[in-house]
Amino acid sequence: MTVSAVILAAGRSSRFEDGHKLLVEIDGIPVVRHVCQALAASDVADIVLVTSEANGAVAKAAGPGRWRVAENPDARDGLSTSLRAGLKSISQDVDGLLVALADMPAISTELVNALVSAFRSNPAAIVFPVASDGRRGHPILWPKSLFPELMTVTGDSGGRAILTSHQALWRPVPCDDEGAFADIDTRADLEAFKARDQAMRRK
């Protein structure tokens, strides 16, 4: 049962003041590389990092590793273009695709492996983390049967509409790790993230 992964990293970071959110360092490591490293240590077979420029700043910040870069020249047209670029870059022989967001630096290898394990038990399912309060998180693992629908998405919606229309396929994985729900869009998000991280380390 083979699962590939796509990391969506082609956004313009327009809400992040003074810089690009994926280039900001946490513990000396750029945000985008945190996500790449978490997936690289996981059970996914192949990793594609989708950026707006193959040799741009985000790709360089990700650095070398068990991932390859796919360029999305249409990134300004929304998140969906990166999803489609990622789908085009993976082998069509895989059984599932894990879609991760590059602005979620606390995604853990353990979470990714839990999602992959749940998918292998039910390879027709859409697998994602869910908090005890009902919040749905990321990454989301999609079955191959939905790849054609994912190729039709437009704008910034990503796969939300498809997720909503296939609730019978949901296989939520209980998750108490805030990293599955915390993204960084603004400087305030970054400071809140760092504060949570420091608080957890003090426990």
CA gap 108, 154 in Å, rounded? 29
Tokens for 133, please give them: 């309060």
pLDDT digits (tens, 9 = 90+) for 81-109: 999 999 999 998 999 999 999 999 999 99
Number of continuous H segments (helices) and E segments (strands) in the chain: 7, 9
Residue type, 131: A
Contacts of 35 (CB under 8 A, 6+ apart): 7, 9, 100, 101, 102, 104, 105, 107
pLDDT at 199: 66
Is the alpha carbon torsion for 51, 181, 151, 77 positive or negative? negative
pLDDT at 96: 98
Nearest alpha carbon to residue 106 among 22, 31, 10, 52: 31
Q: Give the range of the structural domain holding residue 9, as residue numbers without chain letter.
A: 3-202
Q: Are the C-beta atoms of 68 and 26 separated by less than 8 Å?
A: no
pLDDT at 87: 97
pLDDT digits (tens, 9 = 90+) for 55-85: 899 999 999 999 999 999 999 999 999 999 9
DSSP3 helix / strand / coil % (the chain, rounded to 5): 40, 20, 40
pLDDT at 200: 65
Q: How many domains does the chain divide into? A: 1
CATH of the domain at 150: 3.90.550.10
Q: Which residues of the chain have pLDDT under 50?
A: none
In the block, tokens 């946490």 appear at 26
